[in-house]
């Protein structure tokens, strides 16, 4: 998997297509990523002594990594990621622009 935690990505399919967010968690075993503000699920909390009112919380759920593309903020485009040797080090680059991923 070429995506890492902290990468900026754009959702390319599904109901939230076009949404741009940061990767919060990567789950390589299942080929899934958790993206900030995407695929929110509501959980209802029962009243407890610590939280007497109960309530609802929203939390991001994982989506398949094939549904996102790395987003290049400078070019304002989504692009696939490739690798390149630079000064003896392997670096990730955006395929469309050739810029190095930070």
Q: Average pLDDT in the 68-80 region?
A: 95
Both structure tokens of 61: 């759920």
pTM score of the predicted model: 0.83
**In sequence order, what E strands does 3-73 have?**
8-11, 20-27, 32-35, 40-45, 55-60, 63-64, 68-72
Classify the phi-psi angles of 51: left when phi > 0, otherwise alpha if psi is within -120 to 50, otherwise beta.
beta
List pLDDT tens digits, range 37-46. 999 999 999 9
Domain ranges of the chain: 8-94
CATH of 8-94, one of 1.10.275.10, 1.10.3720.10, 2.30.30.30, 1.10.10.410: 2.30.30.30
Percent of the chain with pLDDT over 90: 98
List pLDDT tens digits, range 9-55. 999 999 999 999 999 999 999 999 999 999 999 999 999 999 999 99
């Amino acid at each position: 998997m070429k995506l890492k935690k902290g990468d900026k990505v754009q959702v390319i399919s599904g109901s939230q297509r076009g949404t741009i967010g940061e990767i919060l968690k990567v789950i390589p075993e299942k080929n899934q990523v958790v993206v900030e503000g995407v695929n929110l699920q509501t959980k209802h909390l029962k009243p407890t002594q610590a939280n007497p009112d109960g309530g609802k919380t929203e939390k991001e759920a994982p989506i398949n990594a094939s549904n996102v593309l790395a987003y290049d903020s400078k070019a304002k485009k989504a692009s696939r990621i490739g690798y390149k040797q630079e000064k003896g080090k392997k670096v990730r680059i955006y395929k469309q622009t050739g810029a190095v991923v930070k």
